[in-house]
Structure 1
Amino acid sequence: MYKPNERDKEIFRQRIIKGAQLFDKYLLHKEFIIITIDFEIYKVTFKKKEFLHLTGLTVNVGESLFYDLCKSSKISKNNINNFQRHNKNTLMTKTANINKLIKFIYADASTNLILKDFIMSSAPNRPFPCAIENSKENMVLAFAKTNNLGLKAKSLRKKTNNEIYTSSHLILAIFLKEENDALANSIVYIKNTRNLLECPNINEYVSIKILNQFLELQKA
């Protein structure tokens, strides 16, 4: 087991504070509709209680309180356990990448890939329905099923050559649906609008009004 020193704990503390604040502003209470170029649709969310797991840290407070303490900058080095189940390199990578979560959705959509039926080498008996691979940042974010048939961010890890998945797919579009909205009403990324309008049942997930508005802007 890894025993972080005070310097390491302070590095982790600063990173998870920044990560929680970005998480709260850009990801929490939002549902993202991701459509691949072959018209597969994924509804993904980022849950408050999963933030701790994404950091990889072992702490002495509960998941929800951990998130609240990080968001408010009140998390203490004393909240980070003296013995960690992950090694130093793994935790340095995870806590650095927690600040880059938004790049799975907002920044690198043109090069990110959806990995279908993703299996980690460390957990071959626990497959994930999908993952997003960000090759620019050399990281993978895996999603698990939620109770309402959606997907939630569950595992953040460094990209390796040992991952197993049935297929990879380029992203055609990403839309944002606020928590209380019936349909997605904001565009995060669109690769090709005309192709997107050919997607079956897209009107069940996305407001056609915003697609048409975007199409008109492209004509102007």
Structure 2
Amino acid sequence: TPTERDDCPPELRRAGECDAREQDAAAGAGGDFPWSAVLLTAAALLALLTLLAPLLWRTAVRSRRLGARARAAGPRAATLAAWRELLDTGWDLGVAPDEAASPRGAARRLVDGGRLDGEAAAAAHRVATAVERALYAPPTPRGAADTSQDPAGNPDPDLAADVRLVAAAMREHADRRTRLHALLLPRSCVRVKWAAQDRRAAAACRLRSTADRATARLRPTLSR
């Protein structure tokens, strides 16, 4: 006879289902936690983040170079940041940078490699002209207003807008595979590796310099 329970409805008690329901509840309460599902979900999320890491890094770098943070650093820093973004955009889309080229030469390389014309080509050359002025023009005296102008006598252009214009034109002329590669596996991400190598080299130099100074201080004491 089924156990009489106050919380078991009469129809279930008559059908003998009360004990079965109690056993199911006990099994559910004492069952194992689904660790396998949790681990599989965590592994899937980790794999997704790994795949998206280059995209996320590149997006963050672009935002920093063309955003308010770069402008707050001053006109020269903002100009150089926009230039670096322009070169890296071309690199991601298949136009490798030539570090030995002048800004004008690099702009011509972008225009030719990206098949740019019209306003996009003019935008690339405007950024190059601004970079040359930032690198080679005499510095503005402290306290003086920044009245830098391009060779035609016009105020400095919106370099961030020019970079975005060039990037849009290059993506338009690139094939689908190149665009997808630039989005998910941008070539300019190698700069992360280079930066890490530079930091390790700098740390090794500092450590060696510290050891040399310590040895120099100890040498007179040891020679006594």
**TM-score, normalisation: structure 1:** 0.26
Q: Which protein has the bigger strand share?
A: 1
Radius of gyration: which is bigger? 2
**TM-score, normalisation: structure 2:** 0.26
Q: Which protein has the bigger helix share?
A: 2
